[in-house]
Amino acid sequence: MMRRSQEEKREIIHLVEHSELPMKRTLDELNVPRSSFYRWYQKYQEEGEEGLIDRRPNPSQFWNHIPQAVREQVVKLALEHPDRSSRQIAWLFTDEQGYFISESSVYRILKGFDLVESPAFRVMSAKDKFDHPTKRVNELWQTDFTYFKIMNWGWYYLSTILDDFSRCILAWKLTSTMNATDVQETLEIALRKTGLDHVNVLLRPRLLSDNGSCYLSHDLENYLQCKHIEHTRGAPYHPMTQGKIERYHRSMKNVVKLQNYYSPEELERELTHFVDYYNNQRYHESLDNLTPMDVYTGRSKEVLEKRAEIKKQTLQARRLQNLQTQAVQV
């Protein structure tokens, strides 16, 4: 069973108390057994924070103790990727090193070196998912605009198309305008990249947008009809509208806007790098810690099975190593 520190238990209790979700679903999202939470919470109510201290034998005495060399490799990897959370570091380490280490273990290791600021737990908002989630790629495409200011050039607009099921960025286009033609050109890029521009498939993607003037255009309506693409516009101020692409734009701008840009070409180069990172390297908790491209290209099962085998072999090796260490000590 996973060992939790006093700080982790306190943070979990805080998250459960302030979550918009029912307690059971919140604990499921955190991967915390209800029996454990009830035990912690009772101790917390009776003894305060002192009741959250783990008074069992030191975890280093357990068979699952992580070797010091592995701990040092985790810290090194985290220093090489300061933009990644402890959760992402855990899966990056597993995939690159072929050695399993849990998210909570990585968090504790990095916390000991003051390399993380808060526990690596996130409770999903009740409005983070559709009532009827998509079940396949190219079932629903989300699209939206965001904007950048380029030094001495003024405002530029980024049109993006995201596959709802995989969160993969299928197309983007930087423009000096924000009109129906820009939307059509971005869609053309997505259709070409996915092969849907020349493949006759029965199930065409639906397009989800907001109610901006460029999406209300008759020209866009005619274009979508010709492409046999159904268009859904989200209700104004509805919390479910385009949640995924809006979060993508926020995440992207948090990185890309860290520096100034003096030409559209310079910004386009940075956007190209970020999209490649986002699609191919960034692990998403909502995708079982896979990348969008893993899901979009159908590699999910292969990657998860490989990770399961790595975990099995790692735990067997760790158990054997610690048994041998105990035997030497005796």
Is 165 in the same domain as 214? yes
The predicted pLDDT at position 203 comes to 80
Q: What is the mean pLDDT of the chain?
A: 86
Indicate whether 119 pLDDT > 70: no
Closest CA to 127 of 17, 234, 279: 234
Is 28 in the same domain as 152? no
Q: Which residues of 74-92 are buried (b: 16+ CB within 10 A; e: fewer)?
A: bbebbeeeeebbbbbbbbb
Is 70 in the same domain as 31? no
Is 161 in the same domain as 194? yes
Is 81 in the same domain as 159? no
The predicted pLDDT at position 75 comes to 93
The verdict on residue 43 lying in a domain is yes
Is 216 in the same domain as 283? yes
The amino acid present at 26, given as its one-letter code, is T
Q: Which residues of 99-116 are buried (b: 16+ CB within 10 A; e: fewer)?
A: bbbbbbbbbbbbbeeebb
Is 95 in the same domain as 25? no
Is 104 in the same domain as 52? no
Question: pLDDT tens digits for 6-45?
Answer: 878 888 888 888 776 778 877 877 778 888 888 888 888 8
The predicted pLDDT at position 178 comes to 96
Question: pLDDT tens digits for 148-159?
Answer: 999 999 999 999
Distance CA 41, CA 16 (A): 10
Domain count, the chain: 3
Could you tell me the two tokens for 268? 């386009």
Indicate whether 71 pLDDT > 70: yes
Is 252 in the same domain as 182? yes
What percentage of residues in the chain have a pLDDT greater than 90? 54
Could you tell me the two tokens for 257? 């806007």
Is 211 in the same domain as 260? yes
The verdict on residue 163 lying in a domain is yes
The verdict on residue 132 lying in a domain is no
**Rounded mean pLDDT of 105-118?**
78
Centroid of chain to Cα 104: 17
Indicate whether 125 pLDDT > 60: no
The predicted pLDDT at position 131 comes to 58
For residue 313, how many other CB atoms are within 10 A of its CB?
Answer: 13
Question: pLDDT tens digits for 247-267?
Answer: 999 999 988 987 889 999 999
Is 273 in the same domain as 314? no
309: left (phi over 0), alpha (psi -120 to 50) or beta: alpha
The predicted pLDDT at position 19 comes to 75
CB neighbour list of residue 16: distance below 8 Å, 6 or more residues apart:
23, 26, 27, 30, 37
Domain coverage including residue 214:
140-287
Is 199 in the same domain as 92? no
The verdict on residue 127 lying in a domain is no
Helix (H, G, I), strand (E, B) or coil at 259: coil
CB 137 within 8 A of CB 123: no
**Rounded mean pLDDT of 226-231?**
94
The verdict on residue 44 lying in a domain is yes
The verdict on residue 135 lying in a domain is no
The verdict on residue 133 lying in a domain is no
**Rounded mean pLDDT of 282-294?**
94
The verdict on residue 129 lying in a domain is no
Distance CA 72, CA 110 (A): 10
Distance CA 84, CA 75 (A): 12
Question: pLDDT tens digits for 169-204?
Answer: 999 999 999 999 999 999 999 999 999 988 777 788
What percentage of residues in the chain have a pLDDT greater than 70? 88
pLDDT confidence band for 330 (50 / 70 / 90) = low
Strands 206-209 and 231-233: parallel
Last residue of a domain, one of 12, 38, 56: 56
Domain with residue 171: its CATH number is: 3.30.420.10
Distance CA 292, CA 313 (A): 27
The predicted pLDDT at position 36 comes to 86
The predicted pLDDT at position 23 comes to 82
* Angle in degrees, 0-180, between the axes of helices 86-97 and 68-80, rounded to the nearest 10: 110
